[in-house]
């Protein structure tokens, strides 16, 4: 089974006539991240439609300022959701630094909950890699998926030392910087993602379909000089190790895996 550890299925216009079929046909276990309450509700509905979808709840750093005074309203959703995402900080695409305190407030709120409830967090770190790592340390977060890491190699190294997992996605097909990062991620911490539909669109101008994940895996296999199947198995093993102690996530995963 393929693993798309970071996607946004609710953002497909054509979900019912294409994207979800690809998720099923290619057998892609997909973590469908939310940006806010509305997208979480949409992802829950998609989760009802496919065994391959794990919907997760989070408040994205791009919209954190809209929710910073309403965090307590989210407690029940945080509680019910087995994994939290998308969460994090962004000092790159968000240029207005007056919004950073709100990002930090929301991020820390979720990290506190994740730590108390021992949940995996799915993270956006663009331009804020060092601060993100500092918060993860402060809140004693043990299990994290760092999505589309594109920051400095020294912070990557420190994050690897803490045992966090990293998703490599479609940018590996486009830039040397991401290829270099992919080479620096140890085999046992490597995961894959699409961040679709937006991920591929951002790079190629056309909406990315879930099946593009195969190209990502193929390229990773080529770079690591292993067979495609071996790469699929390696990523699957990594994901299984990450969720080992997590009964609810494991149940989702098992349902997908047994759905032959």
Instruction: Mark residues 73-92: x for contact with Zn ion by CB under 5 A, - for none.
Output: -------------x------
Residue with tokens 């919907």: 55
Nearer to Zn ion, 43 or 234 (CB): 43
Q: How far is the CB of 6 from Zn ion (least distance, A)?
A: 6
Count of chain residues binding Zn ion (CB under 5 A): 2
How open is the CA angle 227-239-25, to the nearest 5 degrees?
65
C-alpha span between 59 and 78 (Å, rounded): 10
Q: How far is the CB of 75 from Zn ion (least distance, A)?
A: 23
Footprint of Zn ion on 173-232 (CB under 5 A): 195
Structure tokens at 228: 């495609």
Hey, CA dihedral for 148, 152, 153, 156, is it positive or negative?
negative
Footprint of Zn ion on 134-173 (CB under 5 A): none
Q: How far is the CB of 147 from Zn ion (least distance, A)?
A: 6
Nearer to Zn ion, 22 or 195 (CB): 195
Q: How far is the CB of 85 from Zn ion (least distance, A)?
A: 8
Nearer to Zn ion, 82 or 169 (CB): 169
Return the bridge partners of 60, or none.
Answer: none
CA-nearest of 159, 164, 166, 130 to 5 is 166
Nearer to Zn ion, 191 or 221 (CB): 191
CA-nearest of 120, 114, 174 to 150 is 174
Contact (Cβ atoms closer than 8 angstroms) between residue 30 and residue 210: yes
Footprint of Zn ion on 99-138 (CB under 5 A): none
Neighbours of 172 (CB within 10 A): 21
CA-nearest of 157, 185, 174, 187 to 219 is 174
Q: How far is the CB of 33 from Zn ion (least distance, A)?
A: 5
Nearer to Zn ion, 63 or 223 (CB): 63
Nearer to Zn ion, 74 or 148 (CB): 148
Nearer to Zn ion, 9 or 99 (CB): 9
Q: How far is the CB of 63 from Zn ion (least distance, A)?
A: 12
C-alpha span between 150 and 175 (Å, rounded): 11
Neighbours of 81 (CB within 10 A): 23
Q: How far is the CB of 179 from Zn ion (least distance, A)?
A: 20
| Binding residues vs Zn ion (CB under 5 A) | 86, 195
């Amino acid at each position: 089974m393929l693993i798309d550890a970071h996607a946004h299925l609710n953002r497909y216009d054509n979900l019912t006539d294409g994207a979800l079929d690809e998720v099923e046909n290619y057998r892609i276990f997909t973590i469908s991240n939310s940006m806010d309450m509305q997208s979480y509700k949409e992802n829950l509905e998609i989760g009802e439609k496919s065994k391959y979808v794990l919907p997760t709840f989070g408040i994205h750093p791009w919209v954190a300022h809209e929710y910073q005074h309403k965090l307590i309203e989210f407690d029940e959703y945080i509680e019910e959701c087995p994994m939290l995402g998308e969460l994090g900080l962004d000092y790159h695409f968000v240029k207005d630094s007056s919004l950073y305190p709100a990002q930090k407030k929301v991020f820390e709120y979720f990290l506190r909950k994740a730590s108390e409830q021992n949940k995996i967090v799915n993270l956006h770190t663009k331009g804020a890699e060092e601060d993100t790592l500092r918060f993860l340390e402060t809140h004693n977060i043990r299990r994290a998926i760092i999505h589309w890491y594109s920051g400095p190699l020294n912070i990557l190294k420190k994050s690897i030392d803490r045992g966090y997992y990293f998703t490599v996605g479609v940018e590996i097909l486009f830039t040397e910087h991401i290829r270099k990062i992919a080479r620096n991620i140890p085999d046992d911490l490597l995961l894959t993602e699409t961040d679709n539909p937006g991920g591929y669109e951002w790079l190629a101008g056309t909406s990315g379909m879930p099946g593009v994940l195969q190209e990502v895996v193929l390229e990773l296999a080529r770079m690591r000089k292993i067979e495609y199947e071996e790469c699929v198995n390696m990523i699957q093993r990594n994901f299984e190790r990450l969720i080992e102690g997590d009964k609810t996530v494991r149940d989702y995963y098992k349902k997908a895996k047994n759905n032959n």
